[in-house]
Amino acid sequence: MLGVLFGLLAATCWGFSAILVRLGLQHIRPTTGTWVSVIPGCIFVMALAVVFNWDDITSLAAIAFVWFALAGLFNFALGRFLNAVSIQRAGVARATPLFSTAPLFATILAIIFLGESVTPWLLLGTVTIVSGIALITSEQVR
């Protein structure tokens, strides 16, 4: 029950985050906005990591930082910036469902690079997602 409650709160936080980006874009560009949005997260999460996982931090292997750098590039430099651009151009209501399809792409990448298998459930999920995207984007084509 507690897990569900925390999950709901996490989803609500991300919902508010998108709304706040939409409000912020009325005043500053997505480039600077992305930079500003990374700062509090950086301080907040690093502080928690230092408090709860100090032993893990001191024993990190050097190669781990290459992977952290890669994750930082995909998640914050590309993902968060494109997220802000999409909200600016398409609006938060239409952009949010589109960039929430990340698990689909994570699965496709895992199939390509990690050798995971294609399942009927994946195909069903993909068809449902693509239909949903078609429904959202078709509104503008009419």
Partner 1 sequence: MKNIQSLIGNRGNIWLGYAAAIGAAVAYGASQTVGKHVTSEFAPPLVGTGFSLVFGFMYVSIMFHRHIPNDLRTSSRRGFLWFGLSGIASASGVTLLYFALSNAPLVVVSPVVAISPLITLTLVHFLLHKLEKITRRTIMGTVMVVLGVVIITVSKALS
Reading the block at residue 27, the tokens are 């005043």
Please name which of 101, 82, 103 lies closest in space to residue 33, comparing C-alpha atoms: 82
Answer whether 133's CB lies under 8 Å from 99's CB: no
DSSP 34-89: HHHHHHHHHHHHHHHHHHH-HHHHHT--HHHHHHHHHHHIIIIIIIIHHHHHHHHH
Tell me which residues in 77-96 interact with partner 1 (CB under 8 A): 77-83, 85-96
Q: Is 29 in the site for partner 1 (CB under 8 A)?
A: yes
Contacts of 97 (CB under 8 A, 6+ apart): 132, 133, 136
Binding-residue total with partner 1 (CB under 8 A): 119
> Would you give the binding string for partner 1 spanning residues 41-80, x where CB under 8 A is met?
xx-xxx-xx--xx--xx--xx-xxx-xxxxxxxxxxxxxx
Please name which of 71, 70, 66, 134 lies closest in space to residue 101, comparing C-alpha atoms: 134
Tell me which residues in 99-118 interact with partner 1 (CB under 8 A): 99-110, 113-114
